[in-house]
Amino acid sequence: MYQINDDLEYSVEIYEQSVLKTLSTDQKGLFSTSFKVPDVYGVFQFKVDHQKLGYTSLSLSKQIPCQPLWHNENEIFITTAFPYYRASFSPMAGFFIFTILYL
């Protein structure tokens, strides 16, 4: 029976950046991991290159295009932007209060 070790790694490359992650296993042959893709346009190349003495080498590569969300695919209101929303609406509210008080 072939025992798979937990030292299988893969790399994600885009332009000059590279991310190297170790894959976790469920001991049934399924390897997985998760990571966040940078918010840039590009073609990512996923690589698995596993070479161990005495075993058959494993070399896989796949290119996947990636694009950020369009302006209409994002959330309408982003919660971290509330200070900016407040800064944009406070002059309008001040103008309306000023016109009600003095007119």
Q: Give strand pairing partners of 66.
A: 42
What does the pLDDT read at residue 2? Answer: 37
Mean pLDDT by 10 residues, the chain (103 residues): 53 65 77 76 79 82 80 73 90 95 88
**Residue 85 resides in a domain:** yes
Nearest CA-CA partner of 4 in 74, 69, 56, 82: 56
**Residue 4 resides in a domain:** no
**Residue 22 resides in a domain:** yes
pTM given for the model: 0.47
Domain that holds residue 72: 9-102
What does the pLDDT read at residue 96? Answer: 95
**Residue 76 resides in a domain:** yes
Answer yes or no: are the C-beta atoms of 28 and 4 closer than 8 Å: no
Q: How many domains does the chain have?
A: 1
**Residue 2 resides in a domain:** no
**Residue 35 resides in a domain:** yes
